Amino acid sequence: MKKFFGIFTAALAMFALVVCAGCAPKGQVTEGENTVVIEASAEDDGKTLLAVMEGLQEAGELTFTISDGMVTSINGTSQTTSSYWMLYTSDAENANEQWGTFEYEGETLGSAIYGAGELTVKEGCIYLWAFESFGL
């Protein structure tokens, strides 16, 4: 019986590890080439994007700087005279595709109509920062 209990406990522990391995961390941040993606969790719902980013910065998952109310640097990449961090979102209520779009994992994200300090995040929505260059 002890042997059966030991095997059962080990199997249960392995099952728990496999199940939890697929769990996404709160405030998930994904960094790609010239992009930073934040997916809002239930805990983030209703906060401003800036508040979510500040929490991620405190947790060591993200670094950023703000100057004159604008995000000027993310994870060590700073804006220049012709390159800026632009914000896109999957939240249709807070996006305007006429201002610009960004393709992410088969989804078209619209340009955010608010800045990080005013944009209220919604659980499950994507907030994508793209470092883009303009012909200035």
Going by the DSSP 8-state scheme, the letter that residue 63 receives in this structure is -
* Domain boundary assignment for the chain: 25-133
Beta strands 126-133 and 107-112, pairing class: unpaired
pLDDT band at residue 30 under the 50/70/90 scheme: confident
Distance CA 111, CA 54 (A): 21
Whether 18 shows a pLDDT value over 50: the answer reads no
Going by the DSSP 8-state scheme, the letter that residue 94 receives in this structure is G
Whether 5 shows a pLDDT value over 50: the answer reads no
Average confidence (pLDDT) over 14-26: 35
CATH number of 25-133: 2.170.130
